[in-house]
Amino acid sequence: MKDEDDHALSRAQSRSLRRIYNGRSVPILADGKTFLTYKDARHYLLSLPREARDAAYAEMRNQGGIDQPDAEPEETTASPKSFP
């Protein structure tokens, strides 16, 4: 199963790529190649080894205007407000 996981994009990565490429009219450049559609980008990413895939994915995210990596939301440590 690990081998299968190594060749797949995570759900968050897939959703992020869909947002990046939805309605795009200007291609994104990653690893010297241009990508205009989700399908092309996904196919290319799946053909790469894990480390190269992560680097190309990060490059696509940055150019697509999504600069924060996929991460869980941080918990806030603010104290609750008291109401009168």
Residue 80 has pLDDT above 70, yes or no: no
**Residue 30: φ, ψ to 5°:** -140, 130
Residue 52 has pLDDT above 70, yes or no: yes
Is the pTM here over 0.75, yes or no?
Answer: no
* Cβ-based burial of 9 (10 A; exposed 0-12, middle 13-18, buried ≥19): middle
Other CB atoms within a 10 A radius of the CB of residue 40 amount to: 15
pLDDT digits (tens, 9 = 90+) for 12-43: 999 999 999 998 899 999 999 999 999 999 99
- Residue 58's contacts (CB-CB under 8 Å, 6 or more residues apart) are 69
pLDDT digits (tens, 9 = 90+) for 55-75: 999 999 999 887 655 544 445
